[in-house]
Structure formats: C-alpha cells, structure tokens
C-alpha cells in the first residue's frame, strides 16, 4: 500500500542520503529538492526512486558531486557551458540563471551545455524563467533509449522538451514532455512495481512491441544494441512516428550539436556521462507589456478549458495543471511514495545510518 510522507521530512532525508553518497550539503539540498518536487507533482519517474541511478552514476565515475560548471564562451545573448561532469541539477541551475540574467539585461538569453548529468524534471528549470515574465525553455539529451523511424537500434535518447509561457492565472502554461512515448523512468517505475507496461511504449530486439517490463529492462542494460523506446507517434509514419523522431533529433542537435558535446549515442562512453542540455529565456517585454500579454495568454487558455468535452470527461486540462494540483495536495497530505520506493528509502536509511520513520 502506498504511503504519504511529509514534504519537508522526505526532502531532508533525501538530502542526507545524497550527502552519504558524497554530495556537498548545498548540492545535496538542491538535488533533493529536484527529486522530491517530481514526486510531489506526481512524476514518480523522476522522483526519489532515482536515488539508485544517481548512486550508480557516482560509482561509475559518470557524475562528480563536488565538480562545478564553467563558462567556455559567452556573448551578450549566448553562453557555452562545460558542466565538468558535475551533478545535473547544479549545472542546470547555473545555466538557467545565466539565461534569466541575460534576458533581464538584453531581452533574451540562451545556453548550451556539455559534460553534464541527469538534471531531473525539465520543467523545474523552465518555470524559473516563467516566474520572471520570461518564456523558459529546457531541453536535454539522455542515455540511448530510442529507435529512429524504420530502425530497431537504440541510438537516441528520450530527449525531453519543456517550454513554459507566463500567464495571468495561478500557473504558467508548461509543456514538459519526452519526445518518446514515455520517459525511461516510467518503465523503471513499472519494473519496481513488478507490472507489465502498456503496448506501444517499446519494441524488443526484433523491433516488435512488447509489454514485458522485466525482459525489456534486461535487454536495455545488455550489450545488445537493438530494441528500445518508440518516439511519439509510434512505429512507422502512419500515426506520425517520424515527427516524434524528428523532435528527438532536434533536441540532440540543440544540446549536443551546438555545445560540441556528445549526442545521445555517445553518452556514457569515456569520461563522465556526457549528457548535454539547452536552455533559453525570452522576456515578454520584447513583444509588449508583460501584464497585458499574460492576461491575453490566460484568455486563450480559458477558452481551451471551456471548450466542449468528450462524453464522460469532466474536465479539459492545460499543461502543468495536473502537476500543480498534485503538488498542492502533497503539501497538504504528504508526498505519495509507493511500496517499492519506500523499501529503497529504508535501505538507504540503513546503509547510511539515517533514521527513516515517516
């Protein structure tokens, strides 16, 4: 049975676990916030269940908890940043703050990043710009997970895209999505729960759809190059699979192409993981009065919300609303943590001598 843990309690415990892995306190607090925020928003694929993945990255030499990002090249609008194999959340915060600073000064700012690591939910970084009357953008490549249209070899990542646009309502419009059907972390959730995944998420080494989560995970971590995630639209071109594939490739070109970094196919080979990111911030004042623009954007969103619903449906959601409402509920009632994740946390509590009695 799933449990609920107080937000602050889960954050402090996660911070101590990360310190046990070798994170400095400041970096541990930031990364714990990133992980717990995901769980609080109902995105368990990017939550505290990823602690095991983070520890493996440290032990494998892919992530260096004490490293800091540096600027390689900078102009008035752009920056090239080397993450120096630092923790992904530390690199993302550094890069996004640089974009926001530039947008405040000259109207827009962009940063491309090489040699980083997993940075958590892309939306956490894009919404920082939205809070400052800026359009926020956050993209990243990942470990190889996905196959191109008409292929069967894992060669691209799940390569998420996030764009946040300020609105006059309680929250901004925030599209935060993998370019594959699902993020790989969601498959890991199904694996922890010993459940079959839906057909249409992945294909096996023959290029045939499968629901066998454990068999796919075994294949995913094997030396076999074949079998992987499907992009949005699925197999072939009939339902637009080539469009999802195009979006995934676009993300790799923005992240790795512009930074001269490693694209998905080359990540986790050599020193560090080599994950690459791209961030952007564009101030609304480029186009008019920010308050008026936000009011107009909210009017559009309201018309979408009020449009005709399909039979049996109670509501039309705007991107970011479900997560915002889940977050508010988590603050009131506690963050939902499933049994498999609770077992993981208790294991870390025992390993590092940290009391965990939620």
Cβ neighbors of 178 (< 8 A, separation 6 or more) are 158, 159, 160
In the numeric block, the tokens 């070798």 are attached to 22
* Nearest-angstrom CA–CA distance, 113 and 83: 7
User: Is the residue at 141 inside a domain?
Assistant: yes
Does residue 290 share a domain with residue 190? no
What is the model's pLDDT at position 223? 87
Tell me the average pLDDT of the chain: 96
214 and 152 inside one domain: no
Residues 265 and 223 in one domain: no
Q: What is the pLDDT of residue 1?
A: 57
CATH of the domain at 214: 3.30.60.50
145 in the same domain as 114: yes
Write the CATH number for 264. Answer: 3.30.1370.60
137 DSSP β-pair partners: 163, 280
Mind listing the pLDDT tens digit for each residue in 185-208?
Answer: 889 989 988 999 999 999 999 888
Q: What is the pLDDT of residue 189?
A: 87
Which parts of the chain have pLDDT scores under 50?
none
* Neighbouring C-beta atoms of residue 313, cutoff 10 Å: 8
Range of the domain at 100: 67-181+237-305
Q: Residue 191: what pLDDT?
A: 93
Nearest to 137 by CA among 92, 185, 197: 92
Domain match, 244 and 285 both = yes
Clarify whether residues 142 and 222 are in a common domain: no
The DSSP bridge partners found for residue 70 are 82
- In 3D space, the residue among 47, 67, 51, 63 whose CA is nearest the CA of residue 18 turns out to be 51
- Check residue 192 and give its pLDDT: 87
Residue 23, in any domain of the structure: no
Angular region, 152: left φ>0, alpha ψ -120 to 50, beta rest? alpha
Q: How far apart are CA 41 and CA 47, in angstroms?
A: 9
Closest CA to 49 of 355, 329, 348, 354: 348
Residues 6+ apart with CB under 8 A from 228: 144, 145, 146, 147, 152, 153, 154, 202, 203, 220
């Amino acid at each position: 049975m799933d449990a609920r843990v107080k937000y602050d309690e889960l954050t402090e415990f996660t911070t101590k676990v990360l310190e046990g892995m070798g994170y400095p306190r400041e970096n541990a607090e930031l990364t714990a916030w990133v992980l717990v925020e995901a769980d609080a928003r109902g995105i368990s694929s990017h939550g505290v269940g990823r602690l095991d993945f983070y520890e493996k990255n440290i032990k494998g030499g892919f992530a260096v908890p004490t490293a800091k990002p540096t600027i390689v090249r900078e102009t008035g609008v752009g920056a090239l940043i080397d993450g120096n194999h630092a923790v992904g959340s530390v690199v993302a915060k550094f890069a996004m703050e640089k974009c926001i600073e530039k947008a405040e000064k000259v109207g827009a700012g962009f940063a491309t990043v090489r040699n980083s690591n997993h940075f958590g939910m892309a939306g956490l970084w894009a919404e920082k710009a939205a809070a400052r009357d800026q359009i926020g953008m956050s993209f990243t490549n990942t470990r190889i997970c996905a196959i191109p249209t008409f292929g069967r070899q894992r060669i691209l990542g799940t390569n998420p895209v996030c764009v946040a646009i300020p609105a006059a309502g309680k929250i901004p419009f925030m599209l935060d999505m993998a370019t594959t059907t699902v993020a790989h972390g969601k498959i890991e959730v199904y694996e922890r729960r010993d459940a079959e995944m839906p057909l249409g998420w992945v294909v096996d080494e023959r290029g045939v759809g499968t629901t066998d989560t454990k068999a796919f995970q075994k294949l995913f971590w094997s030396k076999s190059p074949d079998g992987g995630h499907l992009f949005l639209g699925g197999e072939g071109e009939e339902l637009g699979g080539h469009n999802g594939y195009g979006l995934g490739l676009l993300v790799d070109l923005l992240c790795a192409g512009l930074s001269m970094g490693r694209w998905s196919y080359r990540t986790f080979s050599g020193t560090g993981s080599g994950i690459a990111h791209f961030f952007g911030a564009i101030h609304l004042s480029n186009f008019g009065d920010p308050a008026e623009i936000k009011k107009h954007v909210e009017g559009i969103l309201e018309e979408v919300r009020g449009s005709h619903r399909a039979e049996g449906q109670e509501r039309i959601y705007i991107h970011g609303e479900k997560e915002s409402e889940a977050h508010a509920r988590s603050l009131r009632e506690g963050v939902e943590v499933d049994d498999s994740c609770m077992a993981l946390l208790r294991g870390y509590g025992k390993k590092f001598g940290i009391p965990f009695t939620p």
